[in-house]
Amino acid sequence: MSNENDQWHSRVLETNIGFFGGLTAIAILIGGLVEIVPMYTVSANQPENAELVAPYTPLQLAGRDIYVREGCYNCHSQMVRPMRAETMRYGEWSRAAEYVHDRPFQLGSRRIGPDLQRVGGKYPDGWHYEHMRDPRSTSPGSVMPPYPWLLTATIEPDDVAATMRALDRVGESYSDADITNVAQLLNAEGSAIVAHLSDAGITASADTEIVALIAYLQRLGTDADVAIHGAAALTPEAP
Ligand code: HEC
């Protein structure tokens, strides 16, 4: 009676390490091709209209750095997948062009909280202020931690200028004038948000971290139109 372990594959394959290694390499290569080729050939994967997506403004950049520092990506993804349940909940699925200015990207891999890619414009600025101060004040039962220090900590224009310079070096385009005038740009953008907050009865200072974070959160997802429809989305419709 033949030994149960004496199968053809153990004789032919597993005892010939070189041959088996070669077959393994071929299997891995096929797996790689199946993943990589569609990335370049399927047009929906190409970042169409990427050149029309505006870079982050200085205040949005500052807010983005806070988002990274606080580890918001541990609980929030920024990618709406092309499936019905996702698009019904969050809106348009994410297009590649929406990420062209994301260095590093914030796709995230966990969703303890909802996806944030389409959160821009979903809530007024005052909602975000209260939500970051105490998530349970706006969302009863929320497990999101409070971030009260953002209300008082301030952003440093020099730090934002350094971020702009670094991004410029890796291919973003921030002009020297923008970098030199970063303090004014931050203040102008921050003041608009402070005005919205004041309408909601909240007193905030334009240079606080919360204001920068709100600027970033309100930007999220607002590039979908231009990524999908191209230049047509930028020209106002004729009356
Ligand atoms: C421990 C996980 C956790 C962390 C960390 C976390 N969140 Fe959340 N977040 C949640 C949960 C859960 C919700 C849903 C309940 C709620 O609205 O608070 C949520 C909701 C939100 C919403 C509202 C989304 C919507 O569409 O209603 C925003 C905006 C948000 N978080 C921003 C942030 C930011 C910015 C940070 C980092 C400073 C952060 N979160 C960190 C868990 C988290």
User: Cα–Cα distance between 63 and 192 in angstroms, integer?
Assistant: 15
User: Cα–Cα distance between 106 and 221 in angstroms, integer?
Assistant: 13
Q: Averaged over 50-58, what is the pLDDT?
A: 94
Using CA atoms, how far residue 181 sits from 54, 58, 177, 194, in Å, is: 19, 10, 6, 20
Give the burial class of 160: count Cβ atoms within 10 A of its Cβ; 0-12 exposed, 13-18 middle, 19 or more buried. Answer: buried
Residue pair 162/155 in contact (Cβ under 8 Å)? The answer is no
Q: What pLDDT does 3 receive?
A: 60
Identify the CA nearest to 190 among candidates 160, 168, 167.
160
Residue nearest (by alpha carbon) to ligand 1 atom 7: 144
Inter-residue long-range contacts of 112-115, CB under 8 Å, 24+ positions, other chains counted: 112/74, 112/75, 112/76, 112/143, 113/75, 113/76, 113/144, 114/76, 114/89, 114/90, 115/76, 115/77, 115/78, 115/79, 115/80, 115/86, 115/89, 115/90
Q: What percent of the chain has pLDDT over 90?
A: 81
Identify the CA nearest to 155 among candidates 125, 186, 132.
186
- Mean pLDDT (the chain) is 93
Cα-only R_g, the chain:
24
**144 CA → ligand 1 middle, Å:** 5
What is the b/e burial string over 183-222, where b = at least 16 CB atoms within 10 angstroms of the residue's CB? eebbbebbeebbebbeeeebebebbbbbbbbbbbbbbbbe
Q: Averaged over 111-134, what is the pLDDT?
A: 97
Q: What pLDDT does 5 receive?
A: 61
Specify the higher pLDDT residue, 149 or 38: 149
Which residue type occupies 176? Answer: D
User: Cα–Cα distance between 111 and 86 in angstroms, integer?
Assistant: 12
pLDDT at 42 over 70: yes
Pocket around ligand 1 at a 6 A CB cut-off: 67, 70, 72, 74-76, 112-114, 116, 119, 122, 135, 139, 142-145, 147, 213, 217
**163 CA → ligand 1 middle, Å:** 25
Q: What pLDDT does 65 receive?
A: 97
pLDDT at 1 over 80: no
